[in-house]
Chain A
Amino acid sequence: MSPLRLPGPPWPDPIVEVRGVRHAYGARVSVDGVSFTAREGEFVGLLGPNGAGKSTLIRLVAGLLAPSAGTVRLAGFDPHATPRRLVARVCALVPQEPRLDWPFTVRDVVMMGRTAHQGLLAIPTREDLGAVEGALAACDLLHLAGRRVDALSGGERRRVFFARALAQEPRVLLLDEPTAFLDLAHQVAAMEMARVAARGGLCVVAVLHDLNLAAAACDRLVALAGGRVVAEGSPSDVLTEERVRDVWGVPVWRGQNQATGATVVLPNVRPVP
């Protein structure tokens, strides 16, 4: 439908490139000179206390916000200056609390992920139907496909919106707190889906709050505080006792999961005297 074309594939490497980006909501600066990159096949976790600028950063990468300084490159182009239809073919965003005001079925919602590939009336092609079935299968939703989304549990709902992002067939997958409000089993399942997506070649960037889940699942972590990057690297490099104390203001014990070798940090909650 659209004569416009994106550069690539092959996409530039790294596919996400943020350089010296700054963003302010009115007088409040939320992101202040952030640089980071993410590559295809990589699962990058964005960490930081509330108000560190993580969600703003992910919206800047998605092109939903414009930086007041610095540059964002998504697959080599500026996502804020590019038509949404083209951005959506490269980049999918799973919001933290997806809206569910209307009683669409699971399959309808996942099909909406195909918007950027469809014409005005969104009549699905064989390709669209295939992508939707594939995404439903990948997220273990085939048995729920005809159910109304507003009747699902929190964990199931999250899978639906993840499936919608997969149906979009992006190269970059942005997740805003994929584990928020989920119980432990669903948190682990969400992280595993993100890992599988990254192993399948996607560039996955997730805003995360749980340091241990992030350390266990991500290839690389970027820690933010006050709108700036304070550390970047492997989980064991980023999550030191000193840094967690400095950034989150909480003294922790740091150790290692004996089964997996993953870095573990536990807060030192002192007994009430």
Chain B
Amino acid sequence: MTSVSGVPRTRLVLALGLGLLAIVAAVAVSCLLGPQPISLRAALDGVEPDRAILFGLRLPRAALAAVVGFALAAAGTALQALLRNPLAEPFVLGVSGGAALGGTLVLLAAAGLSAVAGPAGALLGSAPPVAVGSVAGAMLATLLVFGLGRIGGRLVPEAALLVGIVFNAFVAGVITLLKMLAPPDQAARLLYWLMGAIGYESPTTLAVGTVLVVLSVGALALLSARLNLLTLGDEEAASLGLDVRRTRALVFFAASAATGAAVALAGMVGFVGLIVPHLVRRVVGPDHRLLLPASALFGAAFLVAADALARLAFLPLGTEPPVGAVTAFLGGPFFLWLLRRQARQQAEGN
């Protein structure tokens, strides 16, 4: 079969194979380059400090970036289908903002609690509760944005995008206010997390986040044929036999969970879910059965590479920006370009 009607196996294998290859290449670059040159052979032979740098620092960091990019690109792809607009993305739509607020509230509660009951506070500030807070925040933000974006019973994509952007500004303000309440050391940590820093998280954090991401992106992959139908609009999808409400609820849930987990791991990393699905769609086409898994894999490779870039570009200055700054630097102009292109197409086409 040459057609896309069933996903042709060769194209699926090719796209996913290339995606995996891209991840391996990005991880290799990220692991081997850095202020301290290391030898792969020495690290594998257990020679210090090469071994400690590779397995203790760089590989966990690359793995974290991969998991976050994987989640954000998949969530972006799904949200674009849900909103029927290629400008949708977890960060732009305020879903990441909601997750950040949820995570912040849990962290601050933990800080407050440790003042009175140390161990309980530490427990609350550990990975699973923060992830739960982020996921809950992401879900509430998604419901809010899609709810307020519904005008006269119809989802208006432009309205939802505006709601998301305003919600982002609102959340930024609220988090700034909340930071005032936190002790100074906590506030600094919070700020660095929120700016989208890929730090050196504990293995527990990474494990919790990875499980959450794999489950939610797996759910999105199972829903990928239905995402194709959602792009047609509610009424058409329903007349073709889709239970639109239930499908939409499932996609909401899974995309929010993926975003919440990504934010819990790395804070607000924007535009990955915008850039990656757009580029991948140009190559593999609009069928989500191919597009969603391919976007997730290339999203992982993209963020690993962006994180390596953040580390390496500022090496001479002896500092490094959070990866969220790199993706925003690339993604902001990209968003504007897409926006203008879409407006132009609408003016010409319809």
Which A residues are within 8 Å of any B CB, using their own CB?
59, 62, 64, 83-89, 91-93, 95, 98-99, 101-105, 107-108, 111-113, 115-116, 118, 120-124, 128-129, 132, 145-146, 150, 164, 168
How far does the Cβ of B326 sit from chain A's closest Cβ, in whole Å? 29
The docked-state distance in angstroms from the alpha carbon of A150 to that of B3 is 17
Residue from B7, B225, B233 whose CB has the most chain A CB atoms within 10 Å: B225
A129→B241 contact, CB < 8 A: no
Given contacts A99-B233, A101-B85, A116-B241, list 12 more A-B pairs with CB under 8 A: A59-B235, A64-B235, A86-B241, A99-B232, A101-B84, A104-B287, A105-B4, A108-B4, A111-B3, A120-B222, A128-B5, A145-B3
The docked-state distance in angstroms from the alpha carbon of A88 to that of B241 is 5
A121→B224 contact, CB < 8 A: yes
A108 — which chain B residues lie within 8 A by C-beta?
3-5, 228, 286-287
A93→B222 contact, CB < 8 A: no
B289 — which chain A residues lie within 8 A by C-beta?
121-122
B286→A102 contact, CB < 8 A: yes
**Do A92 and B236 form a contact, CB below 8 Å, given A101-B231, A104-B287, A120-B225?**
no
A64→B225 contact, CB < 8 A: no
A102→B242 contact, CB < 8 A: no
| Contact residues, B2-32 vs A (CB, 8 A) | 2-7
A113 — which chain B residues lie within 8 A by C-beta?
240
B7 — which chain A residues lie within 8 A by C-beta?
123
The 19 listed contacts between A and B (C-beta, < 8 Å) are A62-B239, A64-B235, A85-B241, A93-B239, A95-B236, A95-B239, A101-B84, A101-B85, A104-B4, A108-B3, A111-B3, A115-B242, A120-B225, A122-B6, A122-B228, A124-B6, A129-B1, A145-B3, A168-B240
A99→B84 contact, CB < 8 A: yes
A83→B232 contact, CB < 8 A: no
For residue B285, CB closer than 8 A to chain A, the reply is: yes
A112→B287 contact, CB < 8 A: no
B241 — which chain A residues lie within 8 A by C-beta?
84-89, 115-116
- Contact indicator per residue, chain B 273-313, by CB within 8 Å of chain A (1) or not (0): 00000000000011101000000000000000000000000
B244 — which chain A residues lie within 8 A by C-beta?
84
Q: CB within 8 A of B5: which of A84, A86, A103, A111?
A: A111
A146→B240 contact, CB < 8 A: no
The docked-state distance in angstroms from the alpha carbon of A150 to that of B226 is 20
B3→A107 contact, CB < 8 A: yes
